[in-house]
DNA sequence: CCCATCTTACGAAAACCTTCGTAATAGTCT
DNA sequence: AGACTATTACGAAGGTTTTCGTAAGATGGG
């Protein structure tokens, strides 16, 4: 029984986002990316990554001098978990209410709307 | 300038969920509802509600012996904030990715699907 | 009035999160 | 080797969140 890695905190989630986007990266690379959005100190990122390594959230490759970190949590599963959490906590378990809230709050391009429609078709298809 | 009430923490959000659902409630009522999902002590809920009162997240009615608490944060606005936060933090700002993840993770009834379709129609209508 | 019960008030502990300063270490260049 | 730079390691501060124990006050029955 290997125990599940714990859920990422907000700051950890932002780092995971960078790793999912860029792939395995050094502290410097992550810090520079993060720093563009919000001033973020180098050692802060380093410390977070060390903690995340302990927690089993990221994997560390030590072969180069500047260690390279990679997300260990799969993007899909983590996103599911986050969505599920929010649905349960703020939307009384109703995913569709979250969906509608998201759609009426944030813009979606025509392209995205089309893809959502396709997904809805699939869902309805399965029901019969 | 009255300052904005801060965002609710996870535990606070769960209490808000109950208040949105049941309307103004006593500690006992909230605790019993919460306790069904996750064991939750009475004084824990009470303390949370006292803190939330200080923060301006709930309103307290003292007229009865058992005080009655009511959500002060509007459901809609809070849900928007939570969704926006999650979209930014875990979905790189793409609401549609969150939507698709939610739909493929959690079940939606045919009825709900239909209502989502209507909303998509509206969105497309506005674009032209 | 007295007792049992319910409620609020308060403090404090324990865990967790985020940030940063400082020191040690490894590598590079001359 | 010596000086310089980049990186890792470590600890600790400061804040927040969550939980709970205990005390004090109110209520109602007998």
pLDDT for the residue B54: 95
In the block, which residue shows the tokens 């860029």? A22
Whether CB of A90 is under 7 Å from strand D: the answer is no
Report the 3 state secondary structure along A57-108: CEEEECCCCCCEEEECCCHHHHHHHHHHHHHHHHCCCCHHHHHHHHHHHCCC
pLDDT at B98: 95
Find residues 60-89 of chain A whose CB sits inside 8 Å of chain B. Answer: 76, 78-80, 82-84, 86-87, 89
User: What pLDDT is recorded for position A62?
Assistant: 93
- Candidates B59, A53, B82, B25; CA nearest to B33 is B25
- What is the C-alpha to C-alpha distance for residues B3 and B12, in angstroms, rounded to an integer? 19
Q: How many Å apart are A52 CA and C30 C1'?
A: 40
Chain B residues 16 to 35 whose Cβ lies within 7 Å of strand D are: none
Mutation pick from A83, A85, A108 vs chain B, by most beta carbons of B within 10 Å, is A83
Give me the B residues in range 60-79 that sit within 7 A (CB) of strand D. Answer: 65
Q: What angle do CA A125, A85, A22 make, to 5 degrees?
A: 85
Query: Quick one: pLDDT at residue A35?
Result: 95
Span A26-44, mean pLDDT?
Answer: 96
**Choosing among A87, A96, A112, which should be mutated to test the B contact, i.e. which has the most B CBs within 10 A?**
A96
> What average pLDDT score do residues A2-30 get?
91
Q: Determine, for residues B116 and A120 on separate chains, whether the beta-carbon distance falls below 8 Å.
A: yes
Tell me what pLDDT residue A44 has.
Answer: 97
**pLDDT tens digits for A69-119?**
999 999 999 999 999 999 988 898 899 999 999 999 888 889 999 999 999
* Residues sharing a CB contact under 8 Å with residue B105, sequence separation 6 or more, in sequence order: A80, A83, A84, A95
Average pLDDT over residues A59-71: 95
**Beta carbons of A105 and B80 less than 8 Å apart:** yes
Q: How high is the pLDDT of residue A78?
A: 94
- pLDDT in the model for residue B32: 96
3-class SS of residue B50: helix
Distance CA A28, CA A40 (A): 11
Tally of CA atoms within 13 A in the half-sphere of A112 that contains its CB: 15
Structure tokens at B80: 């928007």
Q: Which of A90, A19, A107, A26 is nearest to A63 (CA)?
A: A26
Taking an 8 Å cut-off on Cβ atoms, the answer to whether A79 and B98 are in contact is yes
pLDDT averaged over consecutive 10-residue blocks of chain B (128 residues)? Answer: 78 96 96 94 97 96 95 94 90 92 90 94 81
Is the C-beta of residue B51 closer than 7 Å to nucleic acid chain D?
A: yes
Among A residues 4-43, those touching chain B with beta carbons less than 8 Å apart: 10, 13-14, 16-17, 21
Mean pLDDT, residues A6-27 taken together: 95
CB A119 within 8 A of CB B100: yes
Q: How far is the CA of B27 from the C1' of D21 (A)?
A: 18
Starting at the edge strand that comes first in sequence, how are the strands of the sheet with B68-71 ordered?
B25-26, B68-71, B58-61
pTM listed for this prediction: 0.88
3-state DSSP helix/strand/coil percent for chain B, to nearest 5?
Answer: 65, 10, 25
């Amino acid at each position: 029984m290997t125990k599940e890695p714990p859920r990422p905190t907000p700051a950890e989630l932002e780092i995971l986002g960078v790793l999912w986007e860029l792939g395995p990266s050094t502290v410097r690379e992550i810090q520079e990316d993060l720093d563009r959005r919000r001033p973020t100190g180098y050692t802060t990122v380093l410390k977070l990554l060390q903690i995340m390594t302990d927690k089993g959230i990221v994997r560390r490759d030590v072969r180069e001098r500047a260690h390279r970190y990679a997300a260990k949590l799969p993007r899909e599963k983590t996103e599911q978990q986050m969505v599920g959490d929010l649905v349960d906590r703020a939307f009384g378990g109703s995913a569709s209410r979250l969906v509608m809230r998201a759609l009426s709050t944030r813009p979606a391009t025509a392209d995205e709307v089309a893809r959502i429609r396709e997904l809805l078709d699939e869902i309805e298809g399965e029901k019969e």
